[in-house]
A and B are shown apart, each in its own frame.
Chain A
Amino acid sequence: CNKFLDKTPTDFPLPKNYFKTENDVNTALNGIYDPLGKTGTYGRTLFFELDMSDEGFNALSTTTIDLSINNYNTSDTKVNTLWNLLYQGVNRANVFLENIDNKDLQMDEDKRKAAKGQALFLRAYYYFMLVSNWGDVPVRLQSINDVNDVNRARMPSSEIYAFIVKDMEAAAELVNPITAYTYNSRITKSVVWGILARVNLKMAGYPLNDATRWAEARKWALKAMEPGNGHALNPDYQQVFINQCQDKYDTKEVLWEVEFNKVNNGSQDEEGSVGAINGIGSSDRNMYSYGAVHITERYYRAFAAGDLRRDWTSNSYYYGTVNGVVNSKIPYPATSIYNRCNAKWRREYETALPKNINTSSINFPILRFSDVLLMFAEAENEVNGGPSADAYEAVNKVRRRAYGLLLPTPPNPAIDADLPAGLDQLSFRDAIRKERSLELGFEAIRRHDLIRWGIYISTMKDLSNEITTTAPAAYKYAARHGDNLGQRHLLLPIPSSEMAINKSLVQNPEW
């Protein structure tokens, strides 16, 4: 009778039969990457709602309650989704790591190591995103196997960062160099080193303020800059982003990008919405974009004359019909600033067909080489108590490219792009901070930079005043992000759904 009652699942493999082949391992590894590309992460939220800073604002003026304008509560959908997705990544990695050393797994040892390293890194990266957005969070390094094991208290940030660094350092030994691949969506040694630099910079800043970390940041950035890795700046700034629109991989410039691809069902979770939610507003179905992120005047004006990045980071034209020609590019008058969009990714360059309305397959960069150079310069300046020649050189490389000096035919060959010599530590620090914004605008970095430098609230409040007094009436609402900003917004609230069940948690301050 018991035999009659033994039914084996017909629609999914049993865990005991899984992780037997290389194919199983690769498929499960892809499952750990998967959360990177969801609408709730790099598919939208991380570069849209959660990337509002002094660079741009949510231009969907009818929005009244949203993460992007700091008017939301503990049951906010986007906060909840981000939290869940990151922990899903963690859990998938946990299950993976518990099985990757199975004795009966038939797999080449090097491949096994590389796979393990990727999982180890991704788990650490998901925790890095958790700890930088929420502060102390519950940590699970083993998968849950008891349905009643739901209570988990918050681990202090310092301990979380410690194991993030430890796991990432271990992963660096396991994964392949970037030269092993023709694309840059895989976790490679370059990714791990660059992100280690970023993690250490964060640890050196708010809230840990652990000054011993500057040297570590410098070390890892330098590691990524070693000539053997083959990293270099693309001579053409705008080409970096055009490549992403065209699904081309520049593994020299971009160390790590989130890859989106066309899928038949047009799901935003796979295709993302880079260029479709941000980008130059258009209702033409071949380059449809909400144009939902507009630039602030302050950011626009921060670009000096000759800096080619300004008119790529924002659009100097809009689409309209001229003499019966649709999608003609009509230049903005110099006074129209707030109308301009975040234009780094322009769907007019997108090549993958068919083009969908709400989704694109444009990739999103998480780590670029210019970021590595600037991280190095920033750390170097702190470690040495002032800028060294190497620090200058790193920044100037970035700036020379920005002014077109690396192009075969520079538009303005005589221009001097370099930072003025002889800056003291403080001036150089300010210069770096500004340069990071000019170079990495709208790349989901600025808000985190402001927070780690401890100037997020002051910067945004100042900006709000500026907008309220100087912006055109129709764009005064751009001040909402800063207006609504309070001390509590330095951290996201722990989602109410988590608080309701995990009884060991204490909510973040003021939430």
Chain B
Amino acid sequence: AQAVKITGKVTGEDGEPLAGVSVVIKGTKTGTATNELGIFSLSPQELKGAIVFSSIGFVTKEVALGKSTVYNTSLTQDPQALKQVVVVGYGTVQRKDLTGSVGSVNVADLQKAPVKSFDEALAGRVAGVQVTSSEGRPGAAIDIVIRGGNSVTQNNSPLYVIDGFPMENPGGDNESNPINSLDPADIESIDILKDASATAIYGARGANGVIVITTKRGKAGKTTINYNTYFGWQESNKRLGVLDPYEFIKLQNDIDPIMTMTLYRIRNENGVKDTLPLEYYKNVEGINWEDQIMQTAPMQSHHLSLGGGNDKTKFNASFSYFDQQGIIINSGFKRLQGRLSLDHNVSNKLKVGMNAAYANVKRYGTPTSSSNYNNELNLLFSVWAYRPITLLNSTTNLIEEGTDPEVEPGFDFRWNPVITTKNELRENYNDNFSINAYGEYAILPGLKFRSSIGYNKSATRVDVFNNGLSRSGNPTTNNRINGGMSYINSSSWLNENTLTWNKKINQHQSLSVLGGFTMQEGSSSLFGAYAKLLPNEGLGLSGLDEGVPLSISSTSSAWSLASFLGRVNYNIKSKYLFTASFRTDGSSRFSNGNRWGSFPSGAFAWRFGAEPFMQSLRFVSDAKLRTSWGVTGNNNVGNFSNYMNYITPTNGGYSFGNIQSPGSYPGSMGNPDLKWERTAQTDIGLDLGFFNDRLKLAVDVYRKNTSNLLLNASLPGSTGYSTQFKNIGKVRNQGLEISLFANVVKGHDFNWNSSFNISFNRNKVLELAENELSMLTTQYWGDDWVLIPAYIAKVGAPVAQFYGHVSDGVYKYSDFDKVGGNYILKDNVTANGEVRTQVQPGDIKYKDLNGDLLIDDYDKTVIGNPLPVHTGGFSNNFEYKGFDLGIFFQWSYGNDIYNANRLMLETGYKYNTNQYASYANHWSPENPESNIPRVKGTTLKTYATWMVEDGSFLRLKTVQLGYNLPQNILKRAKINAIRVYASAQNLYTWTKYSGYDPEVSIRNSALTPGFDYSAYPRPKTATVGLNVTF
């Protein structure tokens, strides 16, 4: 047949021509693309069938071929694609026009996780975002680090911008964590700004990345009411397992056979004494303290929202209640929250709006891992180490006694964990209120002025009460019944003024310019009062006034920040995209000369997918290359670190003639030269879409160089100070991020989407203070350990690596000469840090790296790497008719964990102290082949390889199965939608780690990651839920 030539013009809804639209004769390979004027020409074999017009961001359109040879058409924007708007600093941008590296969280997916706040479900969702949860306690600190930590001694938390309000360090164990105040169901979008092009607009606070959270606002149309609820159960059935009564007695016998004979073996029944064999205890049932302290804990969530409006006014309101009990008794998290947003168009030119939110959050329960005075004070130590049985001739019921009668309180800090957990009150209440209002005025078409003002106030109360049955309030303590309350208040206000100018220069070029000025000011204060010897226990904290004052604390602080910002976006044909931004910040935290810092960035992106030469590769639906460079800052330092401060602490005085007088002294020397920490980041990214974007790939490589580190540098004791902030040192992070999305199956009834991301980050210290080659850091988990380095930051290596001795099993008989009845260490065998004569067979052995036959600090080396090689997530969503199933996996690979629990529970260091079941196999003369040290054979306090474990894991993190009831049933009930679902969180974890959970990092900081001691176990959660929309 004779080919016919057809032509046409494709425009958008606004009549503007669309370039690069794919025009294909349906079912054939004949096709082309529109030119810059939106015009195409094509020669089909016959004028039959249809032409398919498709372009990214538009609804694909089919036009039947008829007799005509001219086919002008317009494409409507794809509402799906409208969702592809990315919220960036002080504006939004279409993803296709984005020059920077911004990760958007699939919020719908994230909301499937039954968690109190989004950060608990963020891990593995976005490449380059590493989420570390310290432990499993409800409301526990969650540390988010974007593209690796820049700072060494300071917080690496990103800047959070919630509905336009920037907040520094809101995460962590901060009492007033605003993330805890935010119900995940209220979130509309989460965008994570990663490269400097995206973050530099936040200048001095952008270096750690920015998380931009937007909450839901009203949409024009029918008013909808939605009620979403779920109920669930959490539990951890992982038990670390301690010695059973028989193994416990065997251990006691190894430690002290004489005492064991008296206490556990000589039975005295009615004056008749007999001696029991150890085997007697094989039939004795012990107390399982882990079972006693853990529970199957309920959780529930209710979320009610109301939204709607018309062209002029839109509103959205929500109210929610969340209640999660902890899997350790008497702990949990509760939240009551309400939000309201209003948007109103006063005129064509003026738009105003506001939103307000209030949340009341209660966290409660004995912290399991925060005691540092003595590591035996941590709750789970008492759980594991408490005796499973009482003395042979004793009628004491250990479960009911506050202390073990065999524990000497001066030397041993164990206390019945069940009783203390039930009797100590640890409650944090936080009220968080925020309000934002804005006005937007269109001065001219394309020129818009926006001004906003926001205010955030947080009030926290921390209640502590120790009654007479608790560990710190029982009659043997100095303070007896005691308690106290602390009030922490903080507030900040923000004013932002921006002018935006959008100009279409001509058909091919457009320009968008933003300029602005912002001011933010904050203040905080703390007041606390504690009293002891309270006479009326029943009054609880109301009786504080009757006691003897113990201490009063009162502090306050303030800061302010003023900034000028600007950004230019220049776009040629939606193919060549340029962005430049600039911000200058002035901060009250720095002295006059160093006060202002400037943070420029530039980016260029090339959508080469729209170039003619790509048209032949029709399976490539989109392709973009992004490059950016920029400088951002970090001002993470104390509000007044630049000043020398005279402090007058209560324990800084002295007494003369029985009269106590206060004393003052400079608490720190101050450093007026402090200035911003600077991070320069380069990013190269590639975005590719295939098969009409059914397969999408994004790859980014980046390098961040941080210099002028705000380092809380150690000072030598001879200066009279311990630390002082200074700008010194350099750190580099570089990495690779890959994200992949696939619409694997797209059918009428069945749909399968899959997404995958993986991130690699390498962290390297380039320079430390004063040409230091390494910096040692201790982990303060007990007074004994306060000066023993656990981590090393070495120039040329990551900022944190485990540091200690290399284990070498235990001493065997062959290491000794037997002289008389004594074992004397052979002259060529190294001692283990103990005096040579004290070293005995079965004692722990370390590698003598320098060969001087001594084990000391010179034999310490790097013994593990707490930073993962790669982390990532893998998510699959299936839809079949009304059913949907989401399965999400998350992993971390290549990181090590310090399992410090084993230092206390696999060393047999103390009598009447239980140990892990694994310790049953310890070295003894009867078990001479064992490599687990004998009782009391691990005396040198040191970190060593035997307690370093592989912390890699793959977790089946979230599973949700849902069913949407068919419309025909609902219509009769006048209900828009009903969805029932079941979700599970942390369902299964594949790991070699022997502790409760490999996702652990108590006392986390950039220098001290991956430490586990008495960490709260992480629950598995199963919930059923219902979501109704009217």
Contact = CB atoms under 8 A, between A and B. Distances in A.
A-B complex is real: yes
Interface of A: 1-2, 4-7, 9-15, 18, 24, 26-34, 36-37, 64-65, 71, 73-77, 80, 83-84, 87-88, 90-92, 94-95, 137-138, 140, 143-145, 147-150, 152, 181-183, 185-186, 247, 249, 259-261, 263-267, 269-270, 283, 285, 288, 290, 354, 356-359, 483-484, 495-498, 500-503
B646 A26 contact: no
Contacts of B646: 12-13, 15, 18, 28
Interface stretch (B241-249, B497-505, B664-672): B664-672
B560 interface: yes
B551 A264 contact: yes
B718 A502 contact: yes
A260 B659 CA distance: 10
Contacts of B640: 7, 9, 11-12
B787 A147 contact: no
Given A31-B648, A147-B713, 11 more contacts: A7-B639, A10-B558, A30-B654, A33-B654, A71-B835, A75-B788, A145-B669, A264-B548, A265-B651, A269-B651, A497-B714
Contacts of A484: 835
Interface string B370-396: 000000000000000000000000000
B49 interface: no
B240 interface: no
A84 B857 contact: no
B379 to A, nearest CB: 22
B835 A483 contact: yes
Contact of A7 (B549, B559, B772): B559
Contact of A183 (B586, B656, B834): B656
B665 A80 contact: no
Contacts of B648: 27, 31
B969 interface: no
A31 B664 contact: yes
A259 B660 CA distance: 10
Given A27-B661, A92-B665, A285 B654 contact: no
Given A34-B652, A144-B720, A501 B714 contact: yes
B556 interface: yes
A103 B653 CA distance: 26
A486 to B, nearest CB: 11
A263 B651 contact: yes
B558 A501 contact: no
- The 6 A-B residue pairs with the shortest CB-CB distance in the complex, in nearest-first order: A91-B720, A30-B663, A183-B657, A31-B663, A31-B665, A261-B655
Contacts of B939: 64-65
Contacts of A283: 408-410
A381 to B, nearest CB: 36
A501 B773 CA distance: 11
Given A2-B586, A182-B657, A33 B663 contact: yes
A290 B412 CA distance: 13
B607 to A, nearest CB: 40
B650 interface: yes
B536 interface: no
Contacts of B972: none
B662 A27 contact: yes
B719 interface: yes
A259 B654 contact: yes
B718 A152 contact: yes
Contacts of A265: 550-551, 650-651
Nearest to A137: B718
A261 to B, nearest CB: 4
Most buried by A among B659, B663, B664, B770: B664
Interface stretch (B225-233, B471-479, B945-953): B471-479
Contacts of B713: 147
B407 to A, nearest CB: 12
Contacts of A285: 476
Interface string B669-687: 1010100000000000000
Given A28-B665, A30-B654, A498 B717 contact: yes
28 contacts: A2-B595, A5-B587, A9-B643, A9-B645, A14-B643, A27-B648, A27-B661, A30-B652, A30-B653, A37-B654, A64-B834, A65-B833, A65-B834, A74-B857, A83-B718, A88-B720, A137-B718, A140-B719, A143-B666, A144-B719, A147-B669, A147-B715, A149-B719, A183-B658, A270-B660, A283-B408, A283-B409, A497-B787
B716 interface: yes
A34 B653 contact: yes
A261 B643 contact: no
Most buried by B among A149, A182, A497: A497
A27 B664 contact: yes
A140 B720 CA distance: 10
Contacts of B724: 147
Contacts of A65: 833-834, 939-941
A6 B669 contact: no
A203 to B, nearest CB: 22
A73 to B, nearest CB: 6
Contacts of B561: 5
B262 interface: no
Contact of B721 (A10, A144, A495): A144
Contacts of A32: 663, 665
B647 interface: yes
Contact of A356 (B478, B716, B770): B478
Contact of A266 (B478, B555, B715, B722): B478
A331 B114 CA distance: 69
B562 interface: yes
A154 B816 CA distance: 43
Contacts of A29: 663
B310 to A, nearest CB: 41
A64 B832 CA distance: 13
B651 A77 contact: no
B783 to A, nearest CB: 7
Nearest to A78: B787
A13 B857 CA distance: 42
B614 interface: no
B594 to A, nearest CB: 12
Nearest to B586: A5
A87 B652 contact: no
B720 A87 contact: yes
A7 to B, nearest CB: 4
Nearest to B555: A11
Contacts of A357: 409-410, 476-478
Contacts of A267: 650-651
A13 B667 CA distance: 12
B518 to A, nearest CB: 12
Given A12-B645, A13-B646, A497-B716, A75 B857 contact: yes
A12 B835 CA distance: 49
B70 interface: no
Contacts of B521: 4
Contacts of A149: 719
B427 interface: no
Contacts of A74: 857
B519 interface: yes
B557 interface: yes
Nearest to B666: A95
B313 to A, nearest CB: 36
Contact of A498 (B557, B660, B716): B716
B507 interface: no
Given A10-B556, A144-B720, A4 B562 contact: yes
B592 interface: yes
Interface string B914-940: 000000000000000000000000011
Contact of B857 (A73, A145, A181): A73
Interface in B835-851: 835, 837-838
Most buried by A among B477, B558, B719, B837: B719
B202 to A, nearest CB: 18
A28 B656 contact: no
B677 to A, nearest CB: 15
